Structure 1
Amino acid sequence: MHRHRVLCERAVDPLEIAAGLEAHGVTDRTAARFRHRDVFSLAEEMYARVSRDAEESTEREPVPSAPGARRGWAVLAVLPGTVCAAAVVGVRLTDGQPRLVAAALGALAVALSLRVALDRGPLRVPPDMAGRTRIWTCWLVAYALLGDGLLTAGLDGGPHGLWPMALAPVLALALSCAPAVWCAHLLSVRARRKLAASRGLAEFADSVQPLILGVFALHLCALGALLALSGAVLDETAGYAGAGALGALLLLARLLTAHGFPQAPAVALRAAAVAVALALGTVFASRLPGCSLLSVPVETVAEAWGPGAVPALVCGAAALALLVHATRTLTRASAHALPSGAT
């Protein structure tokens, strides 16, 4: 480890370390002496360990676990929920055109507060990675707010004027930003502790997989409680299935992106957004001559389980795929390497 410290500190990924080790004559047999199956497995752990140690030993950089640094993003995590609650009050106290203005301003304020809250802390991602999924995330949240009402109106031959907004699920999703950030921090801290205590990647993977599932379940419980609270306070349907599936999808997508795996979340969010848009579009397209069969699948699902079942099935399937992907990728040691300068 000390012999190749310079190589590890300058490497941008584990593959660069593996190439350097092989150039220095390290073979798979050598890696086996350190309880690794091959050079690439050894390089992955060296990359994670040196990145973490280098960060902790740099006195000029703020340590992520420092109380001051943690307090900042932990407090900011409640900002989206607070702003959304204020926006909901504004929408409830207005009517007609002022209500539309209040809803638009509230949506803008919530979006800005989300950006502020997630720009630091354990769910922080580079701007270019966040840009890949922003439009799909906004569409899915907009559907959670307006989609079920529009779908119901469309199935009834409408819409005839404005349709109702589902405020309770969106409020719960905004409030769940705080437990999502805190759960992500819990995962990062516990995973790094397990990495420091493990004697190999296989042992680390076996120990961190239950942690990933436990943190995910913890967030779902928090989201379920927030949905129940929001529904009771606003006297609306909580929408457990649809909002719960969307919340799970958004958490997993952000978690994977923050840990350096942006491709799968981008695909999952795009697929979910396109799927709910197509489901909604088929209802209105079925009114065209000879196209009545287009809406049969959506009508069947809506009649059997309600309009909320459509986003629940779509987002649930995408979230399940990301959960399986997370249990395979977030169990790698390099996924929990601390980037230089992270806060």
Structure 2
Amino acid sequence: MKALMHRHRELCERAVDPLEIAAGLEAHGVTDRTAARFRHRDVFSLAEEMYARVPRGDDTPPRPAPTALPRPRPDRALLTLLPGALCGAALTGLRLTEGRTRLLVAVAGVLTVTLALRLVLGKGPLGPRRGTRPGRRRTALWTGWLLAYAALGDGLLRAAVAGGPDGWPTGTPDGPWPFAPAPLLTLTLACAPATWCAHLLTARARRRLDASRGLEEFTASVQPLLLGVFTLFLGALGALTALCAAALDEPPAYAPVLTLGALLFLARLLTVHGFPHVPAVVLAATGTAEVLAPATVLAGRLPGCGALSVPVETLTTAGGPASVPALLCAAAGLPLLVHAVRTLTRASAHARTAHPC
């Protein structure tokens, strides 16, 4: 016990209650099994003894008042609308221009939307907390790649199965390499509800952390909150999918947009709370698999390699090109959801160091 107290002396001295020590121990990998070695039933019981052993004088910090629901900062709220607004402006420009002017509009749109997403996902409200381990940059990189596939991947796969593509993307749905603007617009606009849902989760979880009397009680109260916020985001994303498809006169692609949106939302939640490694690996695996889908179709044209294209061509013929990313994102999103439920329901995931939304 003395060694444990010495190792976590700073944590014990600044803690205002045992739950804060328990959250810190949990963040450092101390489990109930570790607590059992010190003859305690769980981490919270161990934290209570550590809190009681620390000598406290008159300068002991008072227990903080229950955390009020923080108000979202107006500048950050407006920032979340920037990617969708720029994407909408770029898509409008593509529809109103032709030839070389359309190419310039496309390049400008890609650059501005990329910079806006980088700002939101890097230092904005969906950015990682300070001191986050390496991995957050890879998460943002693969997020951009998956968004690019949502706009161009299905068209490439459809053209590849049909024997193409016969040219480069022209920014239109009926070109030799078809372009799908509705999913891209939907997902960029979804930055706003994603931010609001993440803010709601953080604020409510901190309030329940203040009211909890143990780690198990906190976990039990946050699990339905997390699942409710996730469901709320999916509902908002479904509404955006329908609205954007109607505005652009396209059929709504619910399956690929909802699965990709859910995957990206879970990845951002984990990254925002300081756990970027698993999301980075999952997004990288999903992005790589999406690249391999049209690559195997093209490789199947080589002599003796026809079998390579059979799985993707069969799936595309049965469910359309959108079934490939939908299946891949669903297969990646379900394990990530399980990981998020296990990780984001811990008290250590909701430390007060996270930046405000």
Q: Pick the TM interval, shorter chain.
A: 0.7 to 0.9
**Structure 1 residue 74, shift from structure 2 partner:** 1.6
Q: Does 1:101 align with 2:107?
A: no
The count of residues paired between Structure 1 and Structure 2 equals 319
Cα distance in structure 1, aligned partners of 2:355 and 2:183 = 36
**Structure 1 residue 332, shift from structure 2 partner:** 0.3
**Structure 1 residue 290, shift from structure 2 partner:** 0.4
**Structure 1 residue 317, shift from structure 2 partner:** 1.0
- Report the CA distance shift for 1:177/1:115 in structure 2 as closer, same or farther (over 3 A): same
Cα distance in structure 1, aligned partners of 2:335 and 2:299 = 29
Contact 2:118 2:140 in 1 (8 A): no
Cα distance in structure 1, aligned partners of 2:188 and 2:27 = 40
Cα distance in structure 1, aligned partners of 2:332 and 2:249 = 29
State the partner residue of 1:145. Answer: 151
Cα distance in structure 1, aligned partners of 2:296 and 2:354 = 48
Q: Does 1:14 align with 2:31?
A: no
Q: Does 1:297 align with 2:301?
A: no
Cα distance in structure 2, aligned partners of 1:186 and 1:321 = 23
Match of 1:130 among 128, 136, 141: 136
Cα distance in structure 1, aligned partners of 2:62 and 2:75 = 23
Q: Does 1:73 align with 2:80?
A: no
Greater shift in the superposed pair: 181-190 or 125-134: 125-134
- Report the CA distance shift for 1:104/1:39 in structure 2 as closer, same or farther (over 3 A): farther
Greater shift in the superposed pair: 105-114 or 322-331: 105-114
**Structure 1 residue 78, shift from structure 2 partner:** 1.2
Q: Does 1:278 align with 2:289?
A: no
Contact 2:155 2:179 in 1 (8 A): yes
Contact 2:27 2:348 in 1 (8 A): no
**Structure 1 residue 14, shift from structure 2 partner:** 2.9
**Structure 1 residue 8, shift from structure 2 partner:** 4.5
Match of 1:39 among 46, 58, 70: 46
The DSSP-based 3-state class of the residue aligned with 2:73 is helix
Cα distance in structure 2, aligned partners of 1:194 and 1:27 = 29
**Structure 1 residue 266, shift from structure 2 partner:** 0.8
Contact 1:8 1:17 in 2 (8 A): no
Identical positions, percent: 52
State the partner residue of 1:255. Answer: 269
Which letter maps to 1:87? A
Q: Does 1:121 align with 2:135?
A: no
- Report the CA distance shift for 1:187/1:245 in structure 2 as closer, same or farther (over 3 A): same
Cα distance in structure 2, aligned partners of 1:177 and 1:253 = 13
Report the aligned-residue RMSD. Answer: 3.3
- Report the CA distance shift for 1:143/1:64 in structure 2 as closer, same or farther (over 3 A): farther
Cα distance in structure 1, aligned partners of 2:272 and 2:165 = 40
State the partner residue of 2:230. Answer: 216
**Structure 1 residue 100, shift from structure 2 partner:** 2.5
- Report the CA distance shift for 1:305/1:327 in structure 2 as closer, same or farther (over 3 A): same
Cα distance in structure 2, aligned partners of 1:54 and 1:174 = 44
State the partner residue of 2:340. Answer: 326
Which letter maps to 1:134? A
1:34-82: CA deviation from partner (whole Å, max 9, x where unpaired): x756637998xxxxxxxxx99979xxxxx99654x62221222111111
Greater shift in the superposed pair: 118-127 or 175-184: 118-127
State the partner residue of 2:331. Answer: 317
State the partner residue of 1:154. Answer: 160
1:205-258: CA deviation from partner (whole Å, max 9, x where unpaired): 111111111111111111111111111110123221112111111111111011
State the partner residue of 1:172. Answer: 186
Cα distance in structure 1, aligned partners of 2:144 and 2:29 = 40
1:159-206: CA deviation from partner (whole Å, max 9, x where unpaired): 112412100000000110000000000000111111111111111111
Match of 2:302 among 279, 285, 288: 288
Cα distance in structure 2, aligned partners of 1:197 and 1:183 = 21
- Report the CA distance shift for 1:194/1:28 in structure 2 as closer, same or farther (over 3 A): farther
Contact 1:144 1:170 in 2 (8 A): yes
**Structure 1 residue 99, shift from structure 2 partner:** 1.9
The DSSP-based 3-state class of the residue aligned with 2:258 is helix
Greater shift in the superposed pair: 253-262 or 124-133: 124-133
Which letter maps to 2:125? G
- Report the CA distance shift for 1:331/1:286 in structure 2 as closer, same or farther (over 3 A): same
Q: Does 1:89 align with 2:89?
A: no
The DSSP-based 3-state class of the residue aligned with 1:266 is helix
The DSSP-based 3-state class of the residue aligned with 1:237 is coil
- Considering fraction of residues, name the structure with more helix: 1
State the partner residue of 1:22. Answer: none
**Structure 1 residue 122, shift from structure 2 partner:** 5.5
Normalised by the length of structure 2, the TM-score is 0.80
Which letter maps to 1:149? G
Normalised by the length of structure 1, the TM-score is 0.83
